[in-house]
Structure 1
């Protein structure tokens, strides 16, 4: 018999299995969700069901909101990111409601996915730390290969600023970053 949490995780995976974009022969966002869950389990093994659901649903149906439909530049990018957070929250909250979760848990996951309370809410911060670890572990190298050193340094600094002090310290333990990049996590 499936638990409500498992029903939601299965619904997220089913939605993400529809992603037309592929990586290593798998739908991109399905793979991303699996990576998020694996990193959450590793970094926060006692994570609540709500945090486990938020991690898996972090990019649910991300391909549906195309970056190209938003204005160029930073303002357009930020508007797209905000819309993505709202979309992810709405989809996952719907799955949770269908599975019988109470409104408090549904609302908590929505807040996590919209990044409400970063640096103030422990679960939102834990989710952000996991997002940053997933980026560094699986997406940083391909990103760095496509961009200038200045752009890479800027992204690394922004990533470090989003993380908790514990997360930044763990990055320095687990990753071999060149000194100029490692310095962003050393605070």
Structure 2
């Protein structure tokens, strides 16, 4: 079984032990499925769940190089220099990242409001990017955008390999296989 889940902001990528925080168990009714990868509590979007360990391994192991694409809202007006740095790879405290796909984007018209909303400051604009990674370090997109001077405000995963969010509302599950 393979499921797509649109993880809302603030939901933990685990089925138990959330205390007062919501977990996958609050949304996913299918039994014996587990996340193939993770999204941080403050990230949103596509999470794949499966009961097939081999499939989970193919989806998450870096040697299989499944590209993961994120829509990212950053603090400030993104520069060509920052985009170039993301495309070449960024030095983080755990080493140089692989080059990322990084393109300017527009806020999509299908985007749902976030609760709580992203902070708004009149004097500082925000920008949207599309960032595609082929590795999966802890909080990597957030650390990369911060390293080039544009902290992440909102992060939404929209694609893992051939699987997409494609109109799946937040908190909903779609059976893929």
The question of a shared fold, defined as TM-score above 0.5 by the shorter chain, is answered with no
Structure with the largest fraction of helix: 1
Higher relative contact order (CA 8 A, sep 6+): 2
Higher share in strand: 2
Q: Compute the TM-score of the two structures, normalised by the length of structure 1.
A: 0.24
* TM-score, normalised relative to structure 2: 0.25
